[in-house]
Amino acid sequence: MMTTTVTNQDEVDSLAERLATESQGYAGHLTEREGAFLAVLAAHGPGEGVVLEIGSFKGRSTIILARVEQETKGRSNVVAVDPLTSPSVTDPSLDGAASCRDVFFGNLERAGVRESIEFHECTAHKLSLDWVRSIRLLWIDGDHTYDGVTSDFVDFSPHLAPGGIIAFHDVMHCAGVTRVFAERVLRSGSFGVAGVVGSIGWAQLRVRGSVDAHARDRFRLADRLEHHAAVVESGDSRRKKAFAKLLRWRVPHDAMTAQEFVSKIDPGIPVQFAGGVASGSRTRS
């Protein structure tokens, strides 16, 4: 296990940038901007419980999550689930292979995190049948169909810890993901602050009894995302693609630093680093 050295937001950003760059050496579809933000979520996401990754593919995001846990918490508390099979309607191509198992475990071994991951080689729904643990970060990047994403949300969101973070990959890339994020999260009073970074849609579960000060912003974002999804689903002509690109531009999805993230989330729940509460983790900008 790596030595724990990360204790504040500047160090989290440095770690996030480094891991995001290194992650490009492993097969996957997470961009550097998204990888850095996922690292920020893993480091600064408040609440108690495990980090659960639904959909690992060849391990790019799995490695980021485990490395962040090691260097900020002093241990890895990452659970990942993926049947590692192909083909599927929304699976990336495996070039004719039936499984990416060897590549996945080889990448974890190369990154030095294979023993740090609790991995379940099955569907997320099967894992959910016996799931009882609290989740502080729920990372959904599995079956990208509307029904598949809905199933992942319904099965695991009830286990989100108060103040925990839910995040979906491929918002505005896959209409099913976009719709579930808009309908189930942004339009729900159960969630508070929310946003999009790259194609990662994220939100914080509200603490019971807290004031929902972000409803208007969430609904506005939901309107724009649902409009984008409707255009994507209406056809793939050149005109439709150009319009979808314009609608995507209207959705704020810039990179976000650790300080910017911390300034947005509910200050009522402390973020724990290995040495205690994160330094400056609840300073509003």
What's the angle, vertex CA 57, arms to CA 74 and CA 18, rounded to 5?
45
Say what angle helices 60-73 and 9-23 make with each other, to 10 degrees. Answer: 150
> Which residue type sits at 179?
R
Yes or no: say if 76 and 69 are a contact pair by the CB < 8 Å rule: yes
| Structure-block tokens of residue 159 | 């286990």
- In 2-32, which positions are buried (b, 16+ CB within 10 angstroms) versus exposed (e)? eeeebbebebbbebbeebbebbeebebebbb
Q: Report the CATH number of the 9-271 domain.
A: 3.40.50.150
Q: Give me the DSSP letters along 159-215.
A: GEEEEEEEEES-TTTSHHHHHHIIIIIIT-TTEEEEEEETTEEEEEEPPTT-----H
State the pLDDT at residue 208: 83
For residues 126, 132, 135 and 138, what is the CA-based torsion angle, rounded to 10 degrees? Answer: 20
Q: Which regions in the chain score pLDDT beneath 50?
A: 1-4, 279-285
| Structure-block tokens of residue 147 | 């029904």
State the pLDDT at residue 266: 87
CA distance 257 to 9: 8
Helices (H), the chain: 9-23, 32-44, 60-73, 101-111, 124-128, 146-156, 175-180, 215-233, 238-249, 258-264
Yes or no: say if 100 and 61 are a contact pair by the CB < 8 Å rule: no
State the pLDDT at residue 90: 55
pTM of the model: 0.89
Torsional sign, CA 247, 200, 11, 109: negative
pLDDT, tens digit, 9 for 90 and up, residues 191-248: 999 999 999 999 999 988 888 999 999 999 999 999 999 999 998 888 888 999 899 9
Categorise residue 43: left if φ over 0, alpha if ψ from -120 to 50, beta otherwise: alpha
